[in-house]
Amino acid sequence: MAIDVYINFNGNCREAVTFYAQVFGTEQPHIMSFGDTPPDPAHPLPEEAKDLVMHTRLNLSGSNVMFSDVFPGMPFVVGNNISLAVVTKNIDEVKSLFEQLKEGGKVGMELQETFWSKLYGSVVDKFGIEWQFNYDSGEPC
């Protein structure tokens, strides 16, 4: 299991990640944009979201740091744009941690299968810390 830092940006994620990769001397990351997601007729993608970064990551000095832009219309507050991401190959661990941390907190997304993970969810715990949970199947994303 790993707990990674997840940083959100307000439209300038691609620029920031490119900068961080240069500063830390890492390879340029694979960037998945919102426009790369499978189309959903029930939820059409706004034009302004298509080039925004949905997900990317860098290994900075031995730590995985993940990044994305906030989706248009979602709140963005500088200083509150960092969450902790639990990434594990143990589905039972994902479920257990999620259930415990949601007590007294607020679920952002119930645990569910997504196109990038067999199990993903998010919760803000009773102390106001946002946690993301992702089952790591070992497949690259």
Beta bridge partners of 67: 7, 56
**For the segment 21-40, what is each residue's pLDDT rounded down to a tens digit?**
998 899 989 999 999 999 88
**Domain limits, the chain:** 5-69, 84-135
Q: Which pLDDT value is given to residue 7?
A: 92
Mean pLDDT of all residues in the chain?
Answer: 90
Closest by Cα among 97, 103, 139, 104 to 118? 139
Place of tokens 């089952």: 135
**For the segment 46-87, what is each residue's pLDDT rounded down to a tens digit?**
999 999 999 999 998 788 999 999 999 888 888 778 888 888
Rg of the chain on CA atoms, in Å = 15
Sheet holding 2-9, edge to edge: 32-33, 53-60, 63-69, 2-9, 82-88, 130-135, 120-124, 106-112
Closest by Cα among 49, 46, 58 to 16? 58
Total-model pTM: 0.73
Reported as a pLDDT band with limits 50, 70 and 90, residue 141 is low
Reported as a pLDDT band with limits 50, 70 and 90, residue 108 is very high
**Mean of the pLDDT values across residues 121-133?**
87
Reported as a pLDDT band with limits 50, 70 and 90, residue 140 is low
